[in-house]
Amino acid sequence: MHWYEIKLGGKGYTNSGLSQVCRPDRVSDIAKYLEQVGKNGVIARGSGSSYADQTVNADGAVMMSGRLDCIRSFDEKTGELICEPGVTLKTITEIFAPRGFMLSVVSGSGQHTLGAAIAANMVGQNAHKRMSLAKYVNWIDVVLADGEIVRASHTENEELFKAVVGGQGLIGFIALISVTLLKRPEENVLVERRRINNLNDLMEALKSARKNADFCSVWLDTSAPADSVGRSILTTASFTKEPCGEPLFSLPKIKWHLPHFALYLASLPVFKNLRYRLSGSISKKVEPYESFLYLSDKVKVLSQKGVYQLRISFSEAEGPQAIRRILTELSQTRISACRAFLVLTKEDTLSYLGSALRGYTISLDFIRRRGLEDFLKHLIMVAGEHNGCVSLQNDALLEPRHLFVMYKNLEKFIKVRETYDPQRKFDSDFGRRLFLKEKKNEQ
Ligand X SMILES: Cc1cc2nc3c(=O)[nH]c(=O)nc-3n(C[C@H](O)[C@H](O)[C@H](O)COP(=O)(O)OP(=O)(O)OC[C@H]3O[C@@H](n4cnc5c(N)ncnc54)[C@H](O)[C@@H]3O)c2cc1C
CB of 204 to ligand X, least distance (A): 24
Q: According to the binding rule CB under 6 A, does residue 19 interact with ligand X?
A: no
Q: According to the binding rule CB under 6 A, does residue 11 interact with ligand X?
A: yes
CA dist., res. 189 & res. 246, Å (int): 15
Q: According to the binding rule CB under 6 A, does residue 116 interact with ligand X?
A: yes
Q: According to the binding rule CB under 6 A, does residue 394 interact with ligand X?
A: yes
Sign for the pseudo-dihedral over CA of 304, 220, 363, 179: negative
Q: According to the binding rule CB under 6 A, does residue 173 interact with ligand X?
A: yes
Sign for the pseudo-dihedral over CA of 211, 213, 216, 219: negative
Q: According to the binding rule CB under 6 A, does residue 107 interact with ligand X?
A: yes
Q: Which of 333, 325, 403, 332 is nearest to 362 (CA)?
A: 325
Segment lying near ligand X (by CB under 6 A), choices 107-115, 147-155, 184-192, 380-388: 107-115
Q: According to the binding rule CB under 6 A, does residue 93 interact with ligand X?
A: no
Segment lying near ligand X (by CB under 6 A), choices 110-118, 205-213, 263-271, 434-442: 110-118
Burial of 365 (0-12, 13-18, 19+ CB in 10 A): buried
Segment lying near ligand X (by CB under 6 A), choices 14-22, 115-123, 327-335, 365-373: 115-123
| Nearest to ligand X of 97, 116 (CB atom) | 116
CA dist., res. 188 & res. 206, Å (int): 22
Q: According to the binding rule CB under 6 A, does residue 50 interact with ligand X?
A: yes
Please give the backbone phi and psi of residue 211, each rounded to the nearest 5 degrees, phi first.
-80, -45
Are 242 and 260 a contacting pair, CB within 8 Å?
A: no
| Nearest to ligand X of 119, 229 (CB atom) | 119
Q: Name beta bridge partners: 362.
A: 312, 342
Q: According to the binding rule CB under 6 A, does residue 169 interact with ligand X?
A: yes
CB of 105 to ligand X, least distance (A): 7
Using CB under 6 A as the binding criterion, the count of chain residues that bind ligand X stands at 33
Tell me if residue 426 falls in helix, strand or coil: strand
How do the residues of the chain divide into helix, strand and coil, expressed in percent and rounded to 5? Answer: 30, 30, 40
Segment lying near ligand X (by CB under 6 A), choices 75-83, 122-130, 271-279, 432-440: 122-130
- Identified binder of ligand X from the candidate list 117, 165, 327, 383, rule CB under 6 A: 117
CA dist., res. 112 & res. 89, Å (int): 6
| Nearest to ligand X of 229, 340 (CB atom) | 340
| Nearest to ligand X of 89, 323 (CB atom) | 89
Q: According to the binding rule CB under 6 A, does residue 109 interact with ligand X?
A: yes
Are 178 and 137 a contacting pair, CB within 8 Å?
A: yes
Tell me if residue 415 falls in helix, strand or coil: helix
| Nearest to ligand X of 15, 223 (CB atom) | 15
Q: Determine how β-strand 359-367 pairs with β-strand 307-315.
A: antiparallel
CA distances from 189 to 93, 153, 180, 245, 296 (A): 15, 32, 21, 12, 18
Q: According to the binding rule CB under 6 A, does residue 113 interact with ligand X?
A: yes
One character per residue 286-325, x = contact with ligand X (rule: CB under 6 A) = ----------x-----------------------------
149-153: strand order across its sheet? 71-74, 80-83, 173-180, 137-143, 149-153
| Nearest to ligand X of 323, 343 (CB atom) | 343
Number of Cβ within a 10 Å radius of residue 71: 14
| Nearest to ligand X of 45, 194 (CB atom) | 45
Q: According to the binding rule CB under 6 A, does residue 339 interact with ligand X?
A: no
Q: According to the binding rule CB under 6 A, does residue 44 interact with ligand X?
A: yes
Q: According to the binding rule CB under 6 A, does residue 119 interact with ligand X?
A: yes
- Identified binder of ligand X from the candidate list 15, 19, 40, 49, rule CB under 6 A: 49
Q: What amino acid occupies position 1? A: M
Q: According to the binding rule CB under 6 A, does residue 85 interact with ligand X?
A: yes
Residues at the interface with ligand X (CB under 6 A): 11, 43-50, 54-55, 65, 85, 107-109, 112-113, 115-117, 119-120, 122-124, 168-169, 173-174, 296, 393-394
